Each structure stands twice: as structure tokens, then as C-alpha cells.
Chains A and B, each alone.
Chain A
Amino acid sequence: MKLRLVLFLLILFCSAAAHAGVEGVYGKGITLTEVTPVSAIYDAPQDYVGKKVLIEGMIIEVCAARGCWVYLSSDRPFEKIRVKVTDGEIVFPIAAQGHLAKVEGVVQEIRRSREQVIAWRKHLAEEKGAPFDPATVTGPEVTYRLRGLGAVID
């Protein structure tokens, strides 16, 4: 009888969390109301670097290891922006891929030398178990990302 009760509680415990969706508020949530198009950030990045913005789009990729970054689709075709969050503070679940989200954060400029770009892309490829060819990196890069503070996933 007691064993049955323990097994029942264990099954209940597992099924309850397994059905929990990814929708919800992450981190500090969002406070801004006006959405800044991602394309506007890329068109005039210096207008936004260091400023807090609210962006929206589809989550198209999630950090496979820690859930510590996501790529959000832009309003412009074939464009995306990386959102980095503090490890552990916000953990995006892999299942969030394909969901629409609003993310609030501060726009950052990241400058990397060729060696840093190679190390960075190698790290990303390792996380996903994907192949990586350093020859695809041709030189230093300047990229823009959002330091994510909060998000709402629909």
C-alpha cells in the first residue's frame, strides 16, 4: 500500500511538470510597451547601443547547453538577433523554439578579432554537436546583441 502511494506520487510528480508549457514570464518580465523593430537596431545600431529596448519575434534557436541565449527573428526576412542572458538568472527551455516572444534588454555592441570569432563559433558548434570549419571565418566581426533582462513567451 505504502509502495503504491509512493509510486503514485512519483508518477503524479513527473506528469505534472512534463505538461508544463514554456509560455510565461522569464526573468524580470517586461516593463516597456513600445516595441523596437530589430531591423531598426541593425539599421542604426549606434542609436540603440546602451539603451533598453523591447523587441519581439520568433525564438528560432536556443542555447542547447544552458538556455542562456536565444536567437529572435527580425521583422526583416532572413535576419535575427541574439539575446544573451545571465547564466542561471533566465533559462530558456529548448522547447521555446518556434514560439513568439517579447524580450526586453539593453543593446550591446560586441567586437571580436578573427581568433575570437573562430573560438566563439567553435564553442557554438560544440554545444550543438555540429561541425565547424574555421576557414569560414574571414576576419574580425562587429555584432549587436541584446543583454536580456526579461521576456514573455507566448
Chain B
Amino acid sequence: MNWRHLNRTIHRDLGYLCCGLTLIYVISGVAVNHVDRWNPSYRLTRIESNIGSLTGITQEKLVPEIMQRVGENRQLKNVFSSAPGEMTVFVEGNTIVVNLLSGNTVQERYLPRSFLYEVNFLHLNHPKKLWTWFADLYAIGLGLLAITGLFVLQGRQGIKGRGAVLVAVGLSVPLFFLWLYL
């Protein structure tokens, strides 16, 4: 087996291996790039309402009463008193801020975006641990994919011809933006 054949084999098989994760990073990359316009991992909904005054209700019945009035039956996480006469109730997927006197309520509901939550979870390296090493391996794989890709073709279409021009164009794009913004 000559080195070109080996190069092609490595390039082809790495391409197959890296395909899944590359698509994950592509989708997440675009989603995360526009983080100033939206939350790429969660769908957020803000609901303002009035659930009526809660004065006169005993402390132990207060939280169940609030949850019942807003129609919330998910798992209670915690409770915090952010100001006198104000209570924040944390529920799985919802944060409820209530003015106990007026009954004015603000709910901030959050729901993980299907698929995007998962791809961002991996792309932003939330798992840490073993995933960090796997992501490093993937990065090395991508590097090898790029290098072996340079030598797949020979002649005028290869790195000594058209390939060289395209590589130069590809390199000049980040250099241009560095010059522009740095």
C-alpha cells in the first residue's frame, strides 16, 4: 500500500467517523452563534397574570395554594422570598414570582428545545468528564481529515494546482476578518 492509498483510506474512514459529530457541531454552532437573539437551548415563555390576594393564608399552605392557582403541578424545587410580601416559587420548568398582597404573578416557563438542547449540551461541553477527551479526539480527527484531504487528488486538481488556490482562499477569509476586527 503506497502512502496515497493510505491517505485516501484514512480520509474516507475519518469522514465517516466524524460525520455525525460534525453535523451536531454544525447545527449547534449556528444556533449558539445567534445567542444574542434567542436562547438556543430553552424555549422561554413569560406569563403575567393575577391570581388574587394571598393574604391570610398560613405559611405551610401558601406554596400549594400558589401552585394550584397558576395550574402548576410539576415538582417543587425551592422557595425564596425576594422582597417583603413577595415570593418566588421554583418548580421544574417554571419560576413563579408572586406579590402576595396584590396577587400579581409573573411566570417564566422554560422548556428544553427538542434536539437543539441535546446538541448544545454536547457542543458546549456540559457533560465535561469523558466527553472532553472524546471531543479532543474528534478535534484531532477533524485536523487529520483536513490534512489528508489536501492530498487526496493529484495533478492540476490537487494541492499543486486548483487545491492550492482554494486552500489560500480558505485561509485568507479568517485572516481578512482578523484584519477587519482585531
A contact set with B: CB distance below 8 Å = 13-14, 16-18, 20, 24-25, 58, 60, 64-66, 73, 77-78, 80, 88, 91, 93-95, 97-100, 128-130
Q: Is B42 touching A94 in the complex (CB atoms < 8 A)?
A: yes
Assess whether B35 is in contact with A78, with CB atoms less than 8 Å apart: no
A14 touches B110 (CB 8 A): no
Q: Which of A25, A88, A95, A129 contacts B110 (CB 8 A)?
A: A95
CB-CB nearest in chain A for B91: A98
User: Which residues of chain B are near A14, meaning CB under 8 Å?
Assistant: 114-115, 118
- Among B35, B77, B121, the residue within 8 A (CB) of A17 is B121
- Whether B127 pairs with A78 at a CB distance below 8 angstroms is no
A28 to chain B, nearest CB (A): 11
Q: A17-B117, A60-B88, A78-B84 given as contacts; is B46 within 8 A of A128 (CB)?
A: yes
Q: Does B50 count as interface, using CB distance less than 8 angstroms?
A: no
B39 engages A64 (CB within 8 Å): yes
The CB with the most chain B CB atoms within 10 A, among A16, A98, A129, is that of A98
Decide: B126 and A98 in contact? CB cutoff 8 A: no
Check B44–A78 contact: CB distance below 8 A: no
B residues with CB within 8 A of A: 35-36, 38-39, 41-42, 44, 46, 77-78, 80-84, 88, 90-93, 95, 106, 108, 110, 112, 114-115, 117-118, 121-122, 124, 126-128
B135 to chain A, nearest CB (A): 14
Q: Give Cα distance in the complex from A100 to B90, angstroms.
A: 12
State in angstroms the CA–CA spacing of A4 and B171 once bound together.
41
Give Cα distance in the complex from A18 to B93, angstroms: 13
* A10 to B, closest residue via Cβ: B115
**Measured between alpha carbons, how far is A16 from B42 in the docked complex, in Å?**
17
Given A18-B118, A93-B126, A95-B42, 14 more pairs with CB closer than 8 A: A14-B118, A17-B118, A20-B121, A20-B127, A58-B80, A64-B39, A78-B83, A78-B84, A88-B124, A95-B92, A95-B93, A97-B77, A128-B108, A130-B46
Known: A64-B39, A65-B35. A129 touches B126 (CB 8 A): no
A97 contact set on B, CB distance < 8 A: 77, 90, 95
- Provided the pairs A17-B121, A65-B39, A129-B44 are in contact, do residues A98 and B78 lie with their beta carbons within 8 angstroms? yes
A73 touches B41 (CB 8 A): no
Q: A14-B114, A14-B118, A17-B121 are in contact. Are A93 and B41 (CB under 8 A)?
A: yes
Contacts of B92 on A, CB cut-off 8 Å? Answer: 95
In the complex, which residues of chain B have a beta carbon less than 8 angstroms from the beta carbon of A20?
A: 121, 126-127
B79 closest partner in A (C-beta): A98
Q: B110 to chain A: which residues have CB within 8 Å?
A: 94-95
Per the bound structure, the CA–CA distance linking A128 and B124 in Å amounts to 22
Bound together, the chains give a CA A111 to CA B118 distance in angstroms of: 39
- Among residues of A, the one whose C-beta sits closest to the C-beta of B78 is A98
With both beta carbons as reference points, the residue of chain B lying nearest to A14 in the complex is identified as: B118
Residue ID in chain B nearest A68 by CB atoms = B35
Instruction: Report the bound CA distance from A75 to B115 in whole Å.
Output: 38
How far, in Å, is B86 (CB) from chain A's closest CB?
9
> Using Cβ atoms and an 8 Å threshold, which residues of chain B touch A100?
78
